[in-house]
Structure 1
Amino acid sequence: MTASAEKFTHQTLLEVTPLTPSLFTLRTTRDPGFRFQAGQFARLGVTKADGSVVWRAYSMVSSPHDEFLEFFSIVVPDGEFTSELSRLCEGDTLLVDRQAFGYLTLDRFVDGRDLWLLSTGTGVAPFLSILQDFEVWEKFERIILVYSAREVQELAYQTLIAGLAERDYLAEHAHKLLYLPTVTREHHPGALTGRITQLIENGELEQAAGLAISPEHSRVMICGNPQMIDDTRALLKGRDMRLSLSRKPGQVAVENYW
């Protein structure tokens, strides 16, 4: 099989940055032919010592316009993929599928005024890509990024989030973004305390945003822990908010690749 016929490309690992003992980011080169929509994910492959390849899906943190690819990962104890990845160094090779996947993209919604981005852990990754793409800023009047972690040290990409308002191409739209971090295992000034589902149920999330989550005005994207996704979908269903499908537009979009 020729290189052009392979389903993946060989990319060079540019950076591996540990954030906490259980979280890290990685950046690779990007094949000129690799195209994706903000919010999609790629399949990454690591070659083991025996020559076999382990594949895992990761959402892009980087924007569709960046010349590199960036990903956000949790360290899985004894995990086959992250165990292999931890042995790689800058300059080593990572395999990247030629095709991007996923439907956590803005074209899932045909209308809406407020966009809620609800994330836990590494599930914030696709939303960071979306926020670095200009489309979302034109399409919605308000954008609420809710990012939940166990402890405040696990809230990654704070510099990126804070710096969005300083980007020239977003300057006149920066007022649209409201960032609501939340932690579940400690109290921290400037962050909400509790799980996203709890904060929806007790009204604290909407109170902090100064906006109601409603079928009429709200469109909600959810990515993160599978249980959080299921529980949040159930809460939104109780508000007559349904999953948005290609043939039946709704108010909710989710990503399940765990």
Structure 2
Amino acid sequence: MQAVAEPLRQKHYNATVIDRHDVTEDLFRIRVRPDRGLPKFSPGQYVAMGMGFWEPRVQPSQFEEVPENKLEKLILRAYSISCPLLDPSDRLVTCADLDYLEFYIALVRGADDSEAPPPALTPRLFGLSRGDRLFLAAKITGTYTLAGVEANDTVLMISTGTGEAPHNAMTAELLRRGHRGKVVNLTTVRYRRDLGYVREHQSLMRQFSNYRYLSLTTREPENLDPQCPAYVGRQYVQDLIKRGELASMVDDALSPENTHVYLCGNPAMIGFVPPGGAPLLQPGVLTLLQQAGFTRADAGCGHVRFEKYW
């Protein structure tokens, strides 16, 4: 297979892995440098990344039978661009300072739905090491950006899991600009070990008085075991919003009059229901914010933007 794979790699691949940091066995930060250099782009945007069906998959992962007519084709998926946030000296760094792109990716070993095809790309991406090659699209695009945010506005970013990626790029950009309003970055994960940028966020909070990083967990002992001395139950941002606790935690009214909201991650957290879709059992953040006066319609304060990761 190697004899077949190498010519295909030379034909299709145009970028190199320059670094890989494993947060956990199933979660990594990976840095990719395109051969052609980087175009200008806005924090929050995404790009297509790919590998060939001919590449091996990490194991264990769901069995995959690749049809012969696909064996020489690329698997392409869009990934939001993250940001390392700090340089080796713990100084703020933005995407514009870099000659590579950083991605924050979770390994999906199998499909939740028995009728769905097995995950094709991440089991191959997780086989990459420094120096390996892959495909990166030339165009970076997307409307999930900081357009319309003014220097004194509050910016509230809410994510689940790797949905934190575009918010990291936005956070770095806002802090570099000298943003004067509050910048709040809240993420929810299953376990604390899944917080892939926690050290960087803690350093930024020490450096910038208007920056707040908050993390919630759902599967730690204090989330599941009522006998745990620190028991708080499962933590979801929807509950914090409904009880008014989120505003208290960040010491800001989070009013639609001066706040921009960004939601990225699990559709259940966002609460977006497409036309004709089944109603949600519990309201998502989007519904709760709309009830509080926020809107999806405008680009100014009170606007909610969202990206679904699922």
TM-score w.r.t. length of structure 2: 0.71
* Runs of 5+ consecutive residues of structure 1 not aligned to the other structure: 1-7
CA contact (8 A) 1:109 1:250 kept: no
The alpha-carbon distance between structure 1 residues 254 and 233, as it changes in their structure 2 partners (threshold 3 A), is same
Q: Distance in 2 between matches of 1:215 and 1:197?
A: 17
Larger Rg: 2
Match of 1:222 among 263, 269, 272: 263
2:122 aligns with 82
For the residue of structure 2 that corresponds to 1:235, the secondary structure is helix
After TM superposition, list the pairs within 5 Å mapping 1:107-122 onto structure 2: 107-109=147-149, 113-122=153-162
Could you tell me how far 1:245 is from its partner in structure 2?
A: 4.4
SS of the counterpart of 1:215? coil
Secondary structure of the equivalent of 2:173?
coil
Q: Is the 8 A contact 1:114 1:219 kept in 2?
A: yes
Deviation of the 1:134 alpha carbon: 4.6
C-alpha separation between the residues in 1 aligned to 2:196 and 2:120? 24
1:175: which partner in 2? 209
Per-residue CA deviation, residues 78-100 of structure 1 (Å, 9 max, x unaligned), is: 32101121222221111111111
1:72 aligns with 2:104: yes
Q: Hey, what does 1:94 align to over in structure 2?
A: 134
Q: State the 1:9 CA deviation.
A: 6.9
User: Is the 8 Å Cα contact of residues 117 and 127 (structure 1) preserved in structure 2?
Assistant: yes
- CA change 1:256–1:111 in 2 (3 A) is farther
Aligned pair count reads 243
Contact 2:153-2:301 at 8 Å conserved across structures: no
- TM-score, L = length of structure 1: 0.84
Higher strand share: 1
Q: Identical aligned pairs, as a percentage?
A: 27
- Out of 21, 24, 48, the residue aligned to residue 20 of structure 1 is 24
Moved more, 128-137 or 32-41: 128-137
The equivalences for 1:146-225 within 5 A come to 146-164=186-204, 174-186=208-220, 187=222, 194-225=235-266
Distance 1:35 1:84, change over 3 A: same
Partner of residue 292, structure 2 = 239
Partner of 2:74: 53
Q: How far 1:250 sits from its partner (Å)?
A: 4.6
Change (3 A) 1:244 1:22: farther
When structure 1 is superposed on structure 2, of 218-227 and 24-33 the one drifting more is: 24-33
Give secondary structure in 2 for the equivalent of 1:179: strand
2:307 corresponding residue in structure 1: 255
- Cα gap change, 1:121/1:33 in structure 2, threshold over 3 Å: closer, same or farther? closer
After TM superposition, the structure 1 = structure 2 runs for residues 104-143 of structure 1, keeping only pairs within 5 Å, are: 104-109=144-149, 113-134=153-174, 137-143=177-183
Q: CA RMSD in A?
A: 2.5
Do the aligned partners of residues 250 and 218 (structure 1) sit closer, same or farther apart at CA in structure 2, a change above 3 Å counting?
Answer: closer
1:151 partner letter: Y
- Name 2:277's counterpart in structure 1: none
Conservation of the 8 A alpha-carbon contact between 2:257 and 2:302 = no
Q: Deviation of residue 10 (structure 1)?
A: 0.7
Match of 1:80, SS?
coil
Q: CA deviation at 1:16?
A: 2.6
